[in-house]
């Protein structure tokens, strides 16, 4: 009976750990999607600024 309780506790602990791990993966995935959107917008802005009719900024040192 004691062995069964230990196994039950272990299974519950593993399920909790897996749930927290999944939350972290979901959070990481959200951040990656945000980063992709920022990069996409940045590239699009650069592309638009390079189109005819737009001045290309000149930077001097």
The answer to whether the predicted template modeling score (pTM) of the entire model surpasses 0.85 is no
Q: Which two tokens stand for residue 53?
A: 């009719």
Among 37, 36, 18, CA closest to 26: 18
Q: What is the pLDDT of residue 46?
A: 83
Give me the tens of pLDDT residue by residue for the chain, a chain 61 residues long.
899 999 999 999 999 999 999 999 999 999 999 999 999 999 888 888 887 766 655 666 5
Q: What is the pLDDT of residue 44?
A: 87
Q: What is the pLDDT of residue 52?
A: 76
């Amino acid at each position: 009976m004691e062995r069964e309780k230990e196994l039950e506790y272990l299974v519950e602990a593993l399920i909790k750990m897996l749930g927290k791990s999944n939350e972290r993966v979901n959070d990481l995935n959200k951040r990656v999607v945000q980063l992709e959107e920022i990069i996409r917008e940045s590239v699009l802005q650069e592309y638009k600024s390079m189109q005819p009719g737009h001045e290309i900024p000149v930077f001097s040192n």
